[in-house]
Amino acid sequence: MHVVVLDIDSLRPDHVSSYGYQLETTPNIDRLAADGTVFSTAYAANSPCMPSRAAFLSGRYGLSNGVTTHGPRGRILQSPHVLADTKYTRAWWTLPELFFNKRVRTVGVSSFPRHPAPWFYHLWHEFLHPQEPAGKRESFQTPRAETVADLTIDRLREHAGDDTFLYAQFWDPHTPYNQPGLGESKSAANYPLPPYPTAATIDAHQEWDTWHSASRRGIESRADLADLLATYDNEIRYVDEQVGRIVDVLEAEGLYDDTLLVVTADHGEEFGEHGLYSEHWSTYEGTQRIPLIVKPPADAAPLRSEVDTPVTNVDIAPTIADYAGFDAPKRWQGRSLRSSLEGCEESLREFVVVEHGLYTAQRAIRSAEWKLVRTYHAGLWDDRLERLELYNLTDDPWEQENLVDDRPALVEELRTTMFQWVEEKSGVSQDYLKTTAREGPAGLRWAKR
């Protein structure tokens, strides 16, 4: 069996065609969606990059694995090797470690280890850190998706006859957006713009002078927003082409039907819904929602085309283990989505709790209809963010009308549920997100520039 995970940085699900986007941005990802299942309400358990990938690889939430932010606090994944009762018996493994110990070939292709995160590249048979030639692309967003795909394809061909777990991480479409947008025409009238931010909201955002604000990003009108979204969409088209190359090789090598394919992201990207543009800085939907598409092997049970129950990326590792025929480590906190994929389970859970810890420190609980956001540290936006926000996502999916004063009983109910969840999932004496809030989110030093 082959397992291929394609992790696409900063990819909003509502800009993916198979999620209902009006433009055709992802014809190759859509091929996988047609053969698999789309999870329409998937979230990063923690955001942004380091906390999200820690949650995914460990199968545990940030308040358990300890990674809630970047910087020094993000370097150590809480996973003790020595347990008091059985000494060297491990009760929790990361996903690549599980496959490694099961004698499955593990290959990682990612430049993410430029972050000081040793847990990320622990126990792979081979970990490739792609690099562009000198002078070709020397920016934060490196390497190009094409380079990542080249290495991925090489390893798929090399290990075509082996059971393999292959993880490939693409920086595109993370900023800076290098693909051209609408250019001089700025044809906002012909571009499918979202309802928010409105023209009036963009005008109001000109007063902000902070990291990724409208004034610093050159967003003065809806036409400017259209151009920004066009460059973002073209980044998505570019990385989708590379996904297509990988899928084509799987088909050509006769591996596609035997392969479990997962397409997901570490987080999304906000475009002015709450004042920041081209950034991931909160637990709002633009940041925290992610695509999740699972294409099982062809001999798996028949699939549902879509699952709308809330899930998070801690559920990905146990799902992969399930399809591989391995028992998930007991300390993993995610749940296999296989029963949901196969239509045997209507509702995996009634709510999810998600966190952000880089530019702000926020925790949110999301039920089928409601979302409560608790801000522990507002970052640079203390005068902009309320400590408590309540949104009806059915009526207000853009989270524009805070109903916290209108529904006090519901607020208390959701706060209590979230508190109980934290008590249950943390397993330690400290709340790592509150520690991040006390120390100050690690991203503030960049945001203050």
Nearest alpha carbon to residue 6 among 291, 204, 219: 291
Instruction: Answer yes or no: is 404 within a domain.
Output: no
The number of distinct structural domains making up the chain is 1
Q: What is the CATH number of the domain that holds 217?
A: 3.40.720.10
The answer as to whether 359 is a domain residue is no
Round to whole Å and give the CA distance between 51 and 35: 30
- Distance between CA 375 and CA 308 in Å, rounded? 27
Task: Give Cα 383 to chain centroid, integer Å.
Answer: 28
> pLDDT per residue over 3-51, tens digit each?
999 999 999 999 999 999 999 999 999 999 999 999 999 999 999 999 9
- 34 found inside a domain: yes
Tokens 């899928």 appear where? 247
For residue 429, is it within any domain? no
Rounded to an integer, what distance in angstroms lies between the CA atom of residue 211 and that of residue 449? 7
Q: Which two tokens stand for residue 383?
A: 């005068």
For residue 284, tell me if it sits in a domain: yes
Q: Which domain holds residue 153?
A: 2-350
Q: Does some domain include residue 397?
A: no
Q: What is the pLDDT of residues 290-308, one digit of tens each?
A: 999 999 999 998 889 999 9
Which is it for the CA torsion 41, 45, 48, 53, positive or negative? negative
- Domain contains 318: yes
The one-letter amino acid code at 98 reads: L
Residue 155 lies inside a defined structural domain of this protein: yes
Digit-by-digit pLDDT tens for the chain (449 residues) are: 899 999 999 999 999 999 999 999 999 999 999 999 999 999 999 999 999 999 999 999 999 999 999 888 787 787 644 344 455 555 568 999 999 999 999 999 997 766 778 888 888 999 998 887 776 655 555 788 999 999 999 999 999 999 999 999 999 999 888 877 765 555 556 788 999 999 999 999 999 988 899 999 999 999 999 999 999 999 999 999 999 999 999 999 999 999 999 999 999 999 999 999 999 999 999 999 999 999 999 999 888 999 999 999 999 999 999 999 999 998 899 999 999 999 876 667 899 999 999 999 999 999 999 999 999 999 999 888 999 999 999 999 999 999 999 999 999 999 999 999 999 998 666 899 999 999 999 888 777 76
